[in-house]
Amino acid sequence: MFVTSLKKLGLLKFTNSFQLSILSILIISIALIFLASISLGSFNFSLEEIFNSSSSSLDRIVLLEIRIPRVLLSAFVGASLGLSGASLQGLFRNPLADPGLIGVSAGAALGASLIIVLGSGYLPDFIFGTLILPISAIIGASLVISLLYIFTQGFGYQGITYMLLVGIAVNAFASVGIGILTYISTDSELRGLTFWTMGSFGGASWQLILPALLIIIVTMFWMIPSSRKLDLLQLGEPEAYRLGVDVRKLKFKVIISSAITVGISVSLSGMIGFVGLVVPHLVRLLGGVNHSYLLPGSAFLGACLMMTADLLSRVLIQPAELPVGLITSAIGAPFFLWLIFRIRKT
Amino acid sequence: MSIDIRNLSWEVGNKSIIENISLTINRGEIITILGPNGAGKSSFLRLISGDLKGSKGEIFFDESNLDEISIQDRSFMRSVMSQSQEIVYDFSVKEIIEMGWIERGISTYSGDFEEAVNRISLDCSVNDLLEQSFNTLSGGEKRRVHFARTLVQLWRPSGSDDPRYMFLDEPTANLDILHEQKMMKLIQKKRDEGIGILLILHDLNLAAKYSDKIAIFKNGHLISIGTPQEVLTEETLTDVYDVSMKIDENPFRINYY
């Protein structure tokens, strides 16, 4: 029924029934992996315990205050990275595009590193409290976007290559900043910094993630209706324009929404590589390349994969924990090589 | 009802690409632009499509200034086919053709749309290719698919009398003789349905056979405009192309080698 009403609204006009069944399977998988993720870990809960309010209070605190926010955060970060990867690959018409590529992740990372290393010493806690780190990361991501905006003359510049080159320069600049911060940091700061650059969902708390989830959801609903325009853009910018797409507006929308979701994700969970790159390719292999299927599909699969990666990071070397970024990169890097190999062959 | 181009000029830096061109494209008329490389034909097409903004002059679509027509409305009035770029992802032929669908309001014409796509595919002889991957097609087949997409963009449910125009930049490039003839006949059929058509061609005889009017460009100037017999004279052509030409009157034919 939900699908029929969406079809009536014209949102799924160009999604075929095979693709709709893949999307449905992905939604069911999200629910199943979510249940598995909240029940397994250094504390194990049976499903009965989860739905039964009579379990001990310590268990409930672990479940409600630590486990559930953490799993939710991983799902939303996965969905953000998947969705922004898919829309950036569409925008740049380049299968190797990724939020990391245009420098957004690096900008957010630099903002967060600044707070980790310098913040503790100079900023009293009461100003922003725990929100200072995400805010700083979002400012970092926004600065990168503004730089891109200035250098590409309001995203109006015709060639997309130019923007990628600016992204490379921004990435290099951010690495220098993070390098300097690493050099001057104390032992404990260095530990925080290192763990953070490898990615983790360990710091999730309701206070941090609720506003983030809200912003991410709103941004996704803003982005997904542009899927048809991203399809038309594949014909080339002039063709898309002639088919009625305001290309400049579309670029603005894709880049801003990626900046917001990626900035928030990086600030809450550190640098998690390759998800934005790999997920859209898997979704394409499963069912097709049109964006009305690809965008929601990438968000769903991103959520599935990220929850699974986080689950692995918690159970592989119990009771210790692996940084989740290591797991995604370990899987993603070989995939990336395979992708380059495949592209070269065709 | 027509497109009126008045005193259009366009410069890049100090170099003048289009200089003071005035031209009218009427509904139900095929007008072909001829001229050597670098004459400004494609730039002219990009200017009237609205891709570029001229430095002087005005363009009116049925008395509305092009500058004041929204990007969405422009796509509803005219379709454009030019030398297309490579498509990175693996779309099917049908998906590419359906990209000609212009959303106006919500699913206004959804009922007949499927049928229209099938009929247009048949007209362009791409109906057997619909489920194939676009990237596996030959150059000529790709061209026909893009032409089908251009036609879908102008498709309306029966009874509609919206003004519509089509700008085609070398539509027959890469086509074999059979499909070249088929496409030109289809273009004539569209003209008879009341669509105003602007063509850019290189084949002088093809232009002479199928055009109602011919405009000759050289160095950004409009040299001559009129019916094929009026415009395609030995003196004009020899002067414009720097190649000596000979014209047979009956049947009308231009010989240059």
What's the gap in Å between the CA of A10 and the closest CA on chain B?
6
Residue-wise burial string across A250-269, b where 16 or more C-beta atoms lie within 10 A, e elsewhere: bbbbbbbbbbbbbbbbbbbb
Mean pLDDT along residues B168-181? 93
Burial of A86 (0-12, 13-18, 19+ CB in 10 A): buried
pLDDT value of residue A54:
61
Q: In which order are the strands placed within the sheet that holds B56-61?
A: B15-26, B2-12, B56-61, B64-65
Instruction: Enumerate the residues of chain A whose CB falls inside 8 A of the CB of residue B95.
Output: 14, 231, 290
Average pLDDT, chain B: 90
Listed ranges A101-105, A149-153, A235-239, A261-265; the one with the highest mean pLDDT:
A235-239
Its pTM stands at: 0.86
Tell me if the bond preceding A95 is cis, omega within 30° of 0.
no
The CATH number for B200's domain is 3.40.50.300
Q: Is the pLDDT of residue B154 over 90?
A: no
**List of chain B residues whose C-beta atoms are within 8 Å of the C-beta of residue A14:** 95, 98
The Cα–Cα gap between B35 and A204 comes to 67
Q: Cβ A14–B82 below 8 Å, yes or no?
A: no
Q: Is B132 on the interface with A (CB under 8 A)?
A: no
Cis peptide before A334 (omega within 30 of 0): no
**Is the pLDDT reported for residue A10 higher than 50?**
no
Partners of residue B75 in chain A, C-beta under 8 Å? 242-244
Q: Is residue A168 over pLDDT 70?
A: yes
Distance CA B187, CA B204 (A): 17
Quote the pLDDT of residue A159. Answer: 55
Residue A290 to residue B85, Cβ atoms within 8 A = no
Q: Which CATH superfamily is domain A39-345 in?
A: ABC transporter involved in vitamin B12 uptake, BtuC (1.10.3470.10)
Contact B85 A239 (CB under 8 A): yes
| Assigned token pair, A38 | 């909240």
Does A191 lie at the interface with B, CB-CB under 8 angstroms? no
Name chain A contacts of B90, Cβ cutoff 8 Å: 284, 289
Q: How confident is the model at residue B106 (pLDDT cuts 50, 70, 90)?
A: very low
**Averaged pLDDT score across all residues of chain A:** 81
Give which of A239, A241, A285 to mutate to test B binding, by max B Cβ within 10 Å: A239
Number of structural domains (chain B) is: 1
Interacting residues of A64 by C-beta distance below 8 A, sequence separation 6+: none
Contact B75/B162 with Cβ under 8 angstroms? no
Amino acid present at A203: G
Q: Which of B80, B107, B153 has the CB atom closest to A13's CB atom?
A: B107
Give yes or no for a contact between A11 and A225, defined as CB atoms under 8 angstroms apart. yes
Of A93, A241, A243, the CB nearest to B102: A243
The helix-helix angle for A247-269 and A104-114 (nearest 10°) equals 40
Q: What pLDDT, in 10s, does the model give residues A309-336? A: 999 988 888 777 888 888 888 888 888 7
CB-based contact (8 Å) between A9 and chain B? yes
Mutation to test the A interface, candidates B70, B89, B107, most A Cβ within 10 Å: B89
| Inter-chain CB proximity B87 and A234 less than 8 Å | yes
Per-residue pLDDT tens digits for B107-125 = 445 667 788 889 999 999 9
Residue B192 confidence (pLDDT): 93
ipTM of the complex: 0.90
Residue range(s) defining the domain that contains residue B29: 2-255
Domain boundaries, chain A: 39-345
Note the Cα A278 to chain centre separation in Å. Answer: 12
Q: Would you say A43 and A67 are in contact if contact means Cβ atoms under 8 Å apart? A: yes
